[in-house]
Chains A and B, each alone.
Chain A
Amino acid sequence: MDFLYNHLLSIILFFPAVAAILVVFLPNGEDKLARWVAFIASLVPFALTLVLWANFDATNAGTFQFEETYVWYSTINSNFHIGVDGISLSMVLLTTLLTPLAILASFNIKEKVKAYMMLFLFLEMGMLGVFLSMDLLIFFVFWEIGLVPMYFLINQWGSENRNYASLKFMIYTVGGSLGLLLAIQLLGVLFGTYDIAAITEGWTALNSGMVMGMPVATVKIVAFWAFVVAFAIKVPVWPFHTWLPDAHTEAPVAGSMILAGVLLKLGAYGFIRLVLPLYPAESAQFAGWLAFLAVMAIVFGAFGAYGQWDFKRLVAYSSVNHMGFVLLGIAAAAKAPGTASAHIAMNGAILQMFNHGISAAAMFFLVGVIYERTHTRDLKKYGGLFPLIPVFGGILIFASMSSLGLPGLNGFVSEFLVVRGAWAEMAGFTAAGMIGLLFTGAYILKGIKNVLHGPLNEEWAHGDHKISDINLREVLVMLPLMALMLSLGIAPAWLLGVINNAVTALF
């Protein structure tokens, strides 16, 4: 047991990779076996995360726990250094929870099952690695590694326009990371280490003089924006969001679930873990700009979603809208670090990351469920389906309400916290963001109305296209998500407590 506790994080991190290799060596043609092996293998990190959660010292959530350090690349002084604090713990939980659900949601994949499951497990490792890294280079390694499985998931199992979407995804993200890569190299060269804590200390203390032949202030501002752009593309923040609707729309259902559920959080996590600690002064200086971008994301994301007639695109734009709140919270926290408002806003931002993770995954899954039955995502072609598929309808409304931010469900809590925290610092932006919230209601209701209500499209009632209700496996995917939506809406303290302890200690 000691071994387990001492290496808990590396086991959680690398178990999916080991399982992925195992899946490759399963006999060909045994699709069922591959599915179950992958599913059970993905439950192991989740179970271990629960162990981690139980043993995590929540009162000291601001300090890293379960740290492990191994020499990785001695030549450039980069160590394999991992650990969790309250912020990363909640993200690890989100990742290990969503991955088994996404794999369960992929049981209807018929082609190249082994390769699909392998990529999914590798993807999980990449995402977990980002959340666990305490070394800047390791962070970047995992940051990039996650791209490869996602690219192939979209490219191989996506819908018609997948080639365009996958390449766009790849180029956008690789291109966006170039600045990050350069800035990381710069920091590594300056400080001779990649340890995030050491770099943070050195970099924040460095306030005068010249770096690389330029004044420190200039270099810091350039490097700040290099970090911001890389993470903003991933979040995605307006105007860097245009890859997202394409990638989401073309990705397979489970790919969208993970993309919206976890991958977007990587960007927001980058802001919280790296941008704010490394560039406190610049973050405060440019907080207004970040808030502006966040509000644009909220408003345009909502407008964009409202304008869609493709159900999946609608949900995709809703991600832009919801992730805008995350950035708004971060911007508010950046503007006035240490204040109560900042803590509230940051709590809201992190909780919103978690909430959006579960509700976006749920929404994408539900779109996938109805697409599988109707083979269309065109909202105009549904209509009046509620009587035909009542269970699905109920679940869809439930998940939509979570996304809309109905009090009593999870979305309300986090959005309220963000708004409450941001109001004191940037009332104007916050007020503008509320307009976006109004349209959030509009597009959610538009989705529900066109699918469930209105005149029945007779095509789905009879004959070959007769629609069937959601099946047991699909309900099983939704159940944990719905339970979380409800529990976080009514009693968010179990999660918020851990997050809050970390936030108050760090910001």
Chain B
Amino acid sequence: MTFPILSVIIFSPIVAALIILMMPAERKTEIRVMALMTAVFALLLSLWVYLTYDQSLAGYQFIEKYDWMPAFGISLHLGVDGISTPLVLLTGVVMFTGVIISWGIEDRPREFFAFLFLLASGVFGVFVALDLFMLFFFYEIAVFPMYLLIAIWGWVKTREYAAMKLTLYLFIGSVVALLGALAMYFQSGMGTFDMLMLETANFSPEFQKIWFLPVFLGFAVLGGIWPFHNWSPDGHVAAPTAVSMFHAGVLMKLGAFAALRVGIMLLPEGAKFWAPLILMLALVNVVYGAFIAMIQTDLKYMIGFSSVSHMGLVMLGFATLTEQGMTGAGVQMFSHGVMTALFFAATGMVYDRAHTRKIPELGGMIKPLPWVGFAFIIGGLVSMGMPGFSGFVAEFPIFMGVWQVKPWVAILAVISIVITAAYIMLAIRRTFFGEMPKEFEGHITPIKAIDKVALVLLSGLMIGLGIFPGIMVPMVQSGIQNVLRILGGA
């Protein structure tokens, strides 16, 4: 029997969370070391999956299947394809860097790491689940700890409001999507939740047209699609650094990924019918998000709205239903995940020292925090879609896809690039350059060596992918080709 690597990836964080919970609360250092070891383990495993995924074969690999509730046709069916493999790696990376960034948490680190790992388990689970029920199961597992993490460890001023808002939004979205899933279960008459089986169910076009929107939008809420994006910036801002990283870096991808996996892949006719609408909504995301980001004075709100804009590009790519557009969207999920994780890590490091995130109150941070400044600049360049960085590699095919569907949408969406350039450059200048306000003199302590590891890893991934798109794009493309086969065959 082969090593069940995917289930180990999913369940090892939960096991680690249990072990951590059993450790004495005052042994903070041991708890942190345990957390770090778990994260390294998960990172290595996800890297292993990424490196050994056989692109020439494509399709689902590392498949595992165990009966769970055979009476209802539910099984623990796991597997990764070219789309989810990079996302598993992304989760491993964000988990690892998130733990590093949270090293300094003094308030109940034991519970914090336990919840964080529960969240990570859920996220891994969604990405590798091939069973619709399991996908929902892990989806809720991922959303629930978010509430606690924000409400307990979040920013005092808004955490209760933001946690409540976020959770309600996401639950409503997932309930709507769940309705669609149940409808599919009963309509298919196959008595199974297995998505690979449901793909072959041949739902009637009318059924697909009715249920596509609830399913897609229900998940897309978590992807931050306009007009349901409202929870996301508030959540970003209120969450502690590592949770923001998870939230923007990985959790929003859950929404987009599930919308693709369940919405587009199971209801392809519905996708074709509603794609123009999704395209419009995503266009609003892209342009409106950029404009709103421009007027923010709080760094975290700015990044939050820039996420709305960038996730719009993901949706835009999916809605083209073309090979290039969807491939770009898949890569954008990874690129944006790494980028926002880096942004939030850097912002967190500044905030921890300056105790403010207001852009006008900051300045001159590059001197005491050169690594953070460089990392932020690299993140900014990715965000602008500067060639040579991963953002360009991801966004360019998306635009090519849009050209094939609706040229004028591409022409409008491209406006966001110059807006993004403006606000990113202004934020970089005002935060990291210029005069440092007097009150910070001597308070800005250098970052720890371990923080540098996180910054370098995240920046390196974006530069590496930007210079050598071949290390990821063909893999995503192989996954997308499968989606296109479904779209074409239905």
Contact = CB atoms under 8 A, between A and B. Distances in A.
B477 to A, nearest CB: 5
Nearest to B367: A112
B439 to A, nearest CB: 22
A178 interface: yes
Contact of A76 (B324, B386, B388, B414): B324
A142 B392 CA distance: 12
13 contacts: A74-B474, A75-B327, A75-B469, A75-B473, A141-B388, A141-B392, A142-B387, A144-B388, A156-B433, A170-B422, A174-B421, A185-B399, A186-B403
B396 interface: yes
A185 B403 contact: yes
A171 interface: yes
B410 interface: yes
B217 to A, nearest CB: 28
B210 to A, nearest CB: 30
B399 A75 contact: no
Interface string A107-134: 0000000000000000000000000000
B332 to A, nearest CB: 13
A181 B400 CA distance: 10
A54 interface: no
A171 B403 contact: no
B418 interface: yes
B403 A155 contact: no
Contacts of A74: 470, 473-474
A153 B418 CA distance: 20
B470 A71 contact: yes
B411 interface: yes
A137 B395 CA distance: 13
B386 A148 contact: yes
Nearest to B388: A145
Contacts of B393: 73
Interface in A176-225: 178, 181-182, 185-186, 188-189, 212-213
B400 A76 contact: yes
B469 to A, nearest CB: 5
Contacts of A147: 386
Contact of A212 (B388, B403, B417): B403
B407 interface: yes
B272 interface: no
- Chain A CB within 10 Å, residue with most, of B388, B404, B410, B470: B388
B404 A163 contact: no
A76 B414 CA distance: 19
Contacts of B392: 141
B425 interface: yes
B415 A75 contact: no
Please provide the 7 A-B residue pairs with the shortest distance between their CB atoms, ordered closest to farther.
Answer: A141-B387, A189-B403, A212-B407, A175-B418, A174-B421, A73-B469, A75-B473
Contacts, number: 82
B254 interface: no
B414 A178 contact: yes
Interface of B: 324, 327, 381, 384, 386-388, 392-393, 396-397, 399-400, 403-404, 407, 410-411, 414-415, 417-418, 421-422, 425-426, 429, 433, 469-470, 473-474, 477
Contacts of A36: none
Contacts of A71: 470
A185 B392 CA distance: 13
Chain A contact residues, majority secondary structure: helix
Contacts of A75: 324, 327, 397, 469, 473-474, 477
Interface of B is mostly: helix
Given A156-B433, A178-B417, A151 B425 contact: yes
A163 B407 CA distance: 35
Given A145-B386, A170-B421, A212-B403, A181 B324 contact: no
A475 interface: no
A71 B397 CA distance: 16
Given A155-B429, A167-B425, 7 more contacts: A73-B393, A75-B324, A144-B387, A175-B418, A181-B414, A185-B396, A189-B404
Nearest to A137: B396
A178 B404 CA distance: 18
A72 B469 contact: yes
A175 B421 CA distance: 9
A428 to B, nearest CB: 36
A144 to B, nearest CB: 5
A167 B423 CA distance: 10
Interface in A373-406: none
A140 interface: yes
B418 A174 contact: yes
Nearest to A147: B386
A292 B410 CA distance: 32
Contacts of B418: 171, 174-175, 178
Contacts of B429: 155, 163, 167
Given A73-B470, A185-B399, A167 B411 contact: no
Centre residue among B387, B388, B392, B421 by max chain A CB count within 10 A? B387
Contacts of B411: 182
A76 B421 contact: no
B322 to A, nearest CB: 9
Contacts of B421: 170-171, 174
A186 B407 contact: yes
A73 B388 CA distance: 12
Interface string A305-318: 00000000000000
Contact of B422 (A72, A142, A145, A167): A167
Nearest to B477: A75
Contacts of B473: 73-75
A74 B474 CA distance: 8
Nearest to A72: B469
A27 to B, nearest CB: 15
